[in-house]
Amino acid sequence: MKAARIASTAGAPVFGWDVGGAHVKVSRADSSGVPRDVAQWACPLWQGLDHLERAVDHVFERWPEARAAAVQHVITMTGEMVDLFPDRAAGVRALSGALAARLGPRTRFFAGVDGWLDAAACGDRWRAVASANWLATAQWLATRVPDALLVDIGSTTTDIIPVVGGRVVAQGANDAARLVSGELVYQGVVRTPLCGIAHRIVFRDQTTNVMNEWFATSADVYRLTGELWPAHDQHPSADNGPKTEAASRARLARMIGFDAADATETEWRRFAQRWRHEQLAILATNLSRVRIAHPALAGAPIVGAGCGRFLAAALARHDGRDYIDFAVLAGVTPSSADLEEWVATCAPGVAVALLAGTDTGMGTGMEAPRLHETPM
């Protein structure tokens, strides 16, 4: 299918959106295709569309020009899967309709090899739009690095996407298939319940069962290791308590039947490192699964994205691979530390803006996935 083209308006910025179930991430690229500003807002979409409406308000407050008729808004999403909607088709229709109503007639939705769609077309072609944000990032990456493993570790999920010969060669076309292939791992560095990372874990040289309760999340781990940037810590803690090291120690202790006072701060920090080790092992297993399926990637670099890309860098070191930060590929200078952090964290939103801004011929960087849509 020949991809639709984005009609450009000289000098007008492009806004790229990644509308997830927990966050809305938006980038502003200038007319030359360089990302100039990026922001993220917490958006617990499962609680209602009013949270999305407030996120749009925040965008208009930050960038008043986003209301202008000449501005192009390009959108990818994963929010259609939240349990606010009866199914993914209804979610795509609801989100595309609500966003087009607020952002204007030049709003387009990323649909992978199907190109760019307006809101009306999303109804019938919802499968191409649903949860395609990983493909946006990988498709843009494929224009910059011919052979790579994209590892995007966010607050909730991890995408591991193979790029071979300048083409995205993912085995799965949708979340169900990507869960089978290992290209999607439902683990992140903020919102993942710790009982979803390990059922047994070592503490004080003893292996203990873990309580299957939502007592603590991965954010507690990375607060104690010092790797979670505070600006990424946007969601409430498991007990709605403080997001401090002391409160995180208490929540970690609760996972194995202790109180924080039962061990030293050093012991709890060591325990956090044990949880980090367990999560990294899960990600490494899935990275290996994806790599084995593509022998050409035996020595390929890892391109890290997402707020948890410090784990992607750790995976690269473990495998003896080169590591490339997504923000560097996007042209952000190391002197712009905050912008670099947000560009890499919000990679899909940045990628759709860059794809639209350069009109790179949607569909030229994607090989047809080998797995078919799995009924849900």
Return the pLDDT at 332. 83
Say if 62 falls within a structural domain.
yes
pLDDT tens digits for range 6-17: 444 556 789 999
User: Whole domain around residue 63: which residue ranges?
Assistant: 14-136+332-358
Least confident of 31-40, 148-157, 265-274, 357-366: 357-366
| Nearest C-alpha neighbor of 272 from the set 220, 228, 318 | 220
Percent of the chain whose predicted confidence (pLDDT) is above 70 = 91
| Nearest C-alpha neighbor of 151 from the set 16, 349, 323, 358 | 323
pLDDT tens digits for range 195-244: 999 999 999 999 999 999 999 999 999 999 999 999 899 889 999 999 99
Structure tokens at 152: 């995007």
Strands (E), 253-316: 302-305
pLDDT greater at residue 374 or residue 124: 124
Cβ of 28: how many Cβ atoms within 10 Å? Answer: 22
Mean pLDDT over 288-298 rounds to 96
Is the Cβ–Cβ distance between 161 and 312 less than 8 Å? no
Say if 70 falls within a structural domain.
yes
Return the pLDDT at 258. 98
CA distance 299 to 280: 20
Task: Give, in degrees to the nearest 5, the angle at Cα 353 between 347 and 359.
Answer: 125
Instruction: Output the average pLDDT for the chain.
Output: 91
318, pLDDT greater than 70:
yes
Q: What is the CATH number of the domain that holds 348?
A: 3.30.420.40
Return the pLDDT at 76. 98
Based on the structure, what is the number of domains in the chain? 1
Return the pLDDT at 7. 47
Partners of 76 in beta bridges: 18
- Transcribe 321-361 into DSSP letters: --EEEHHHHTT--TT-HHHHHHHHHTHHHHHHHHHHHHT--
Say if 76 falls within a structural domain.
yes
pLDDT tens digits for range 345-359: 999 999 999 999 765
Percent of the chain whose predicted confidence (pLDDT) is above 90 = 84
Mean pLDDT over 292-321 rounds to 97
- Distance from first CA to last CA of the chain, Å, rounded? 25
Strands 158-164 and 167-168, bridge-based pairing:
antiparallel
Cβ of 19: how many Cβ atoms within 10 Å? Answer: 27
